[in-house]
Amino acid sequence: MLKRKIDAPLRIPVFLVAAADAVFWVTVLTIAVFARHAFVWDRVNIASLLVLGLVAAVTHLSVGYASGMYLGRFRFASFEETGAFVGVVAVTTGVLVVVNLAAAQPNLVPSSAVFAAAAYQVVLGLGLRYTLRLLRQVRRLSHHPREHRGLIFGAGDAGSQVARVLMEAPGSDVQPVAVLDDDITKDRLEVQGLRVVGTRASIAEAARRFRADMLIVAIPSASPSDVNEVAEIAQKAGLLVRILPPVADVLTEGNVRVGDIRDFALADFLGRPEVETDVESIAGYLKGKRVLVTGAGGSIGSVLTRMIAKYEPSELMMLDRDETALHSLQLELEGRALLDSPNLVLADIRDLDALRRVFSERRPDVVFHAAALKHLTMLERFPVEAVKTNVFGTRNVLQAALEAGVDRVVNVSTDKAADPTSMLGASKRLAEMVTASYAARNAKVFMSVRFGNVLGSRGSVIPTLRKQIEEGGPLTITHPEVTRYFMTIEEAAQLVIQAGSIGRDGEVLVLDMGTPVRIVDLARQLALEMRPGVEIPMEFTGLRPGEKLHEVLSAPAEEPLRRPHPLITSYPVEPMGSDEIAVLSGISDPDLMRELTWKLVTGAAFEAPVPATVEI
């Protein structure tokens, strides 16, 4: 109980401040009048002074409440309250002048005393407020030892608000010690009592000078590349880095909270703003519908499932061949994992009969096909498995959907299907072509959506690099210049849902993912974020068979059809029917499967392409 009282923030009742303001008026008028009469008591009309003091107190309190100054409208001792207080004093002074002049001659008090009293009132009132604010900050700082000493990068409104909330919030674990900003005109400026001590070039020096162990980037309007550059400088100096999210409305309302200041997230490595595809406005096609997701237990499938659940489908069927993945998914969605829900479907997309049974019994309206094999190196070694799952598995889903009268099927593809050089890309390209073929066979919407590498998905580069960094390296990277397009899992799921609304028969939709990211830069940033100041060695292993140095989102021969969204482009896909892919059925020889797959993808007989050897 005692600790709770000590830790409690200093409370300042508004009525006490209002009472102090009223007492101040009587006090300052008395001082001003006596000073005007050279402190000769006999020359002062005490009754007139008390009358004017009462008028001042009543007027000030009335105007103060009317303006909201005593109703909590302004943050205590803020610039806004300062302006309001001065305005109330000015109005009160005007009333006092009128009352004083309207009184019988001589005036109640000398007119000069009224103006002097107003000046004293401003000094006393603001002095009280800033003293109480300082006491409150000192009390919080003294009874809330902070774990970190932080530099704030950004001396604007955001930086000011961050400094204030870090100083005042009981939940803050950071003591701000100084501010930096690239605007040299702000040098030596004070922000919430903290000096601006330099630009980004001064981060390391400021960290040593102020014994800081953290940098908070408080410029929400900064470009991702700028944020990454500042973060990299700070991390090289051994500082932890936190940032404000790039959300302007958080700041314009003046409501920055400690919770808004966060660690670097995966999305910060994109080098571009995270894409918002306005799913809320177009996901109405899911409400009240029966929705089925294949591969629901996978990285994308599980996020997609959680997102779909928000749009109130009448039934959400989660199909996967991995019972453990379904167990985890049910636990996350329902808080239990008894695996007894009819919404959980254990089935393999390679099994057409099983899919037919599920589709005919459950009659889904919308199907999102996310089940696939996706590891490039593994599929190069086992091309037969790639075709069985990614080609024939997709054909089975489409066939079952066609027979069950499904309204919409969205096939989840990959950027590796664009101008493919691997079995992963080739098999997913065939899946797009088969989807286009089924689209031509019925009046429903069967289409594909294509995107790049998904940050944080199982088996992707980020978890691999994290593990290697935790173990001290080396970081294994195929080539110093290799680049990839990246998107977050949330972006991928949003795109898939939006595609179901705006996509047309047989086409493939591609998200504009900005500039490709060098894996070396990604690894370096991640290492700096996880272990600032520690040099993690890198090892270049060479491009693997089937791997590209640079990915593309569309093939040179693909001409865009339309842009149904500012960040989404539609491309046509050449259909390929089931009779054409039948040539791959029953093949068990990996080399023959690889050869025939490439013949189907390219329409020509040649060996599977292998990237040229690149010297490292």
In the beta sheet, which residues pair with residue 241?
Answer: 215
Structural domain includes residue 550: no
385 in the same domain as 295: yes
Q: What is the pLDDT of residues 79-116, one digit of tens each?
A: 778 888 999 999 999 999 998 888 766 778 888 889 99
Residue 317 has pLDDT above 90, yes or no: yes
Q: What pLDDT does residue 354 have?
A: 96
272 inside domain: no
Q: What is the pLDDT of residue 590?
A: 94
Domain annotation covers residue 462: no
Same domain, 333 and 230: no
Is pLDDT at 367 greater than 80 in this prediction? Answer: yes
Residue 615 in this model has a pLDDT that exceeds 60: no
Q: Answer whether residue 612 is part of any domain.
A: no
Q: What is the DSSP letter of 393?
A: I
Please tell me whether residues 132 and 258 are part of one structural domain.
no
Q: Per the structure, how many domains does the chain have?
A: 3
Residues 338 and 375 in one domain: yes
Beta carbons within 8 Å of 548's beta carbon, 6+ residues apart: 416, 421, 422, 611
CA distance 288 to 312: 6
Domain final residue pick, 232, 264, 296: 264
Does residue 207 sit in the same domain as residue 133? no
pLDDT number for residue 488: 78
Co-location of 122 and 160 in the same domain? no
* Residues constituting the chain: 616
Any idea what the CATH number is for the domain that residue 214 is in? 3.40.50.720
34-67 in b/e form (b: 16+ CB < 10 A) is bebeeeeeeebeeebbebbbebbbebbbebbeeb
Q: Which residues does residue 243 pair with via DSSP β-bridges, in sequence order?
A: 217, 262
DSSP assignment of 291-315 equals EEEETTTSHHHHHHHHHHHTT--SE
Which string of DSSP letters, residue by residue, matches 446-508?
Answer: EEEEE--EEET-TTSHHHHHHHHHHTT-PEEES-TT-EE-EEEHHHHHHHHHHHHHH--TT-E
162 and 137 in a common domain: no
| Phi, psi at 59, each rounded to 5° | -65, -45
Six token digits for residue 409: 């099927």
Question: In terms of domains, do 393 and 506 share one?
Answer: yes
What is the spatial order of strands in the sheet that 366-369 belongs to? 344-346, 315-320, 290-294, 366-369, 408-412, 445-450, 508-511, 568-571, 562-565
416 part of the active site: yes
Choose the weakest-confidence range: 123-132, 220-229, 503-512: 220-229
Residue 58 pLDDT class (50, 70, 90 cuts): very high
Q: Give the whole-angstrom CA distance, residue 17 versus residue 81.
A: 13
Tens digit of each residue's pLDDT (9 = 90 or more) over 412-453: 998 899 889 999 999 999 999 999 999 988 888 999 998 777
8 Å CB contact between 14 and 75? no
> Is residue 551 one of the residues assigned to a domain?
no
Angle between helices 394-404 and 423-440 (to 10 degrees): 20
In a domain, 316, yes or no: yes
**Domain-located, residue 234:** yes
Q: Which of 289, 374, 416, 428 is catalytic?
A: 416
pLDDT in tens, 516-557: 888 888 888 788 777 777 788 999 999 888 888 888 878 777
Q: Looking at the structure, do residues 242 and 302 belong to the same domain, yes or no? A: no
Q: How far apart are CA 510 and CA 506, in angstroms?
A: 13
CA distances from 423 to 268, 393, 591 (A): 31, 15, 11
Which of 229, 264, 299 is the C-terminal boundary of a domain? 264
Per-residue pLDDT tens digits for 216-260:
888 877 776 788 788 888 888 888 888 876 544 443 444 555 556
181-185, 581-585, 610-614: lowest mean pLDDT where?
610-614
Q: Are residues 212 and 307 in the same domain?
A: no
Domain extent, residue 327, equals 279-453+486-512+557-602
Out of 88, 118, 141, pick the residue that ends a domain.
Answer: 141
pLDDT number for residue 267:
63
pLDDT higher than 70, residue 263: no
Both 446 and 318 in one domain: the answer is: yes
Residue 303 sits at φ, ψ, to 5 deg, of -65, -40
Q: Are residues 365 and 497 in the same domain?
A: yes
- How much is the pTM? 0.66
Report yes or no on 582 lying in a domain: yes
Q: Residue 370 above 90 pLDDT? A: yes
